[in-house]
Amino acid sequence: MEFPVDGANSNQKYMFKKPDAYATIILYEVSAYLVLFPGEDIAMVDAIEFRNVTYAYKRVPALDNLSFRIPENSIVGMIGANGAGKTTAIRLMIRYLQPDRGSILYKGQDIYSLLGKNHMLHGKWNCGNKKSRMQSGGGYPITYIPDLPVVFEELTVLEHLAFIGAMYHTEERIDDLTDLFELKAHLDKVPGILSKGTRQKLSIACALLREYEILLADEPFSGLDPKQISVLKERILEEKCKGKTVILSTHLLSLIESICDYYVLIDRGRLLCQGSLAELMELQGLSSLEKIYLQLSSQEVGETEETETED
């Protein structure tokens, strides 16, 4: 590798005879950046960050001072027992619910600061064309596969897709998605006569139809046959290759172990642990995600039982 030498152009930024000196100035600039922006992680940006989030449904506590991070451009598995708070965390991320305490950040910005209050709930902020959304600062580009498909009972499969495609100006994707999820034979049917798995595929196609940066998927494999599970896994990996972030809430640990880069384990609304599989395996001295989950969740139950007995 050649480095610029003195004399050629005195206005050039780095003029050193030795590679060491060149490297030194780069190190100096990186260090200066870290001093100026100590909270910034150059290598890993957070797509989403929960900071001490607490949420209760009236008097039912669901999340308790929960903090975790979702690294950008990764596939993240959100894992926890029934009632642990995964769906609640997802509903907070899509701004369907609002935290009682704490904050949720999207790339370092409070999710509620991203667009005006009038656009906060139920996807209203998505209205308008692509250009106006870009002009409004890029908005909050999250799409969502709910745990139970949300459908309009009177609309056919094609009408669902045409409606959403028209809203987001992405009609051109309908053909590919109906092909991919084998929906072509069902285009004229209303949801009431579809099988559970086909309703789920409609829900997935609706979510993938729009432009987004983060895909939140709550039990997305529910009801899918083995071929379609494989199709969805492939599609999720492709989305990551395109720079997207995917958050998967699921109980199917062995299924997601092959695709997730990072895990967030939740128990009764609190964080059990988070990290890559390698980090978690090293930390816990165990060889699989299932073993880690079973070990940590049984520890937590044991601790609680002890406390309750003492009381």
Ligand X SMILES: Nc1ncnc2c1ncn2[C@@H]1O[C@H](COP(=O)(O)OP(=O)(O)OP(=O)(O)O)[C@@H](O)[C@H]1O
Q: Does 309 bind ligand X (CB under 6 A)?
A: no
**Interface with ligand X includes 148 (CB under 6 A)?**
no
Pick one of 85, 146, 165, 220: the residue that binds ligand X (CB under 6 A).
85
Residue 143 β-bridge partners: 215
Shortest reach from residue 54's CB to ligand X, in Å: 12
Q: Which residues of 13-23 are buried (b: 16+ CB within 10 A; e: fewer)?
A: eebeeeeeebe
Contact status: 62 vs ligand X (CB under 6 A): yes
Residue 60 sits in the site that holds ligand X (CB under 6 A): yes
Burial 244-264, CB ≥16 within 10 A → b, else e: bbbbbbbeebebbeebbebbb
In the structure encoding, which two tokens stand for residue 158, read together? 């094609």
When binding is defined by CB under 6 A, the residue of 9, 10, 11, 82 that contacts ligand X is 82
Beta bridge partners of 275: 263
Shortest approach of ligand X to residue 90 CB, angstroms? 8
Number of neighbouring beta carbons within 10 Å of residue 309 = 7
Using CB under 6 A, pick the residue from 43, 57, 117, 308 that binds ligand X.
57
8 forms part of the interface with ligand X (CB under 6 A): no
Nearer to ligand X, 151 or 252 (CB): 252
Report in angstroms the alpha-carbon separations of 88 from 96, 100, 145, 186: 9, 12, 14, 32
92 binds ligand X (CB under 6 A): no
Least distance to ligand X, CB of residue 88, Å: 3
Q: State yes or no: residue 250 binds ligand X (CB under 6 A).
A: no
Q: Is 253 in the site for ligand X (CB under 6 A)?
A: no
Binding status of residue 84 toward ligand X by CB under 6 A: yes
Beta carbons within 8 Å of 109's beta carbon, 6+ residues apart? none
Residue 173 DSSP one-character state: G
The Cβ of residue 30 has, within 10 Å, a number of other Cβ atoms equal to 11
If the CB atoms of residues 95 and 210 are measured against ligand X, the closer one turns out to be 95
Strand partners, 63: 55
**Span interacting with ligand X, options 56-64, 66-74, 119-127, 273-281, rule CB under 6 A:** 56-64
| Two tokens, residue 174 | 């309908």
In the complex, which residues of this chain contact ligand X (CB under 6 A)? 57, 60, 62, 80, 82-88
